[in-house]
């Protein structure tokens, strides 16, 4: 199976959001993640091609849902993003208290 490369790390935040907030529309995901609709739609299409999620169209809205493989990926992305956020907060705390750099 050929895997299409996702060049932007934005897909991690999109997967994390979909993991936390079950099937959502692409427009809602773009608003919550802070990306443009166009950018979010391109990332969703790449994730769909890689069989990470499925898309259903209802009227004018495109809804996304994680596949079994996508659920596994989103768990790991959530862990990674949470871990990075925690480390950055800890590093900022250490810098404020002890004057240590990252």
**H/E run at residue 54:** strand 53-58
Q: Do the Cβ atoms of 61 and 25 come closer than 8 Å?
A: yes
- For helices 10-20 and 68-98, the axis angle rounded to 10 degrees is 110
* For the chain, domain boundaries: 15-98
The predicted pLDDT at position 68 comes to: 93
Mean predicted lDDT score pLDDT of the chain: 78
38-88 pLDDT tens trace = 988 898 999 999 999 999 988 888 899 999 998 888 888 878 777 777 666
The predicted pLDDT at position 18 comes to: 82
The predicted pLDDT at position 3 comes to: 47
What is the CATH T-level fold of the domain 15-98, as seen in this structure?
Arc Repressor Mutant, subunit A (1.10.10)
**23-50: b or e for each residue (b if 16 or more CB lie within 10 Å)?**
ebebeebbeebebeeeebbebbebbbeb
Can you tell me whether residue 73 is helix, strand or coil?
A: helix
The percent of residues above 70 in pLDDT, for the chain, comes to: 74
């Amino acid at each position: 199976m050929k895997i299409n490369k996702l060049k932007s790390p934005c897909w991690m935040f999109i997967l994390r959001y979909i993991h936390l907030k079950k099937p959502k529309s692409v427009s809602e995901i773009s608003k919550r993640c802070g990306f443009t609709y166009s950018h979010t739609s391109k990332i969703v299409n790449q994730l769909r091609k890689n069989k990470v999620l499925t898309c259903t169209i209802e009227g004018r809205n495109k809804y996304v849902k994680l596949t079994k493989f996508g659920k596994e990926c989103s768990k790991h992305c959530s862990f990674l993003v949470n871990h990075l956020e925690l480390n950055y907060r800890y590093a900022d705390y250490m810098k404020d208290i002890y004057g240590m750099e990252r």
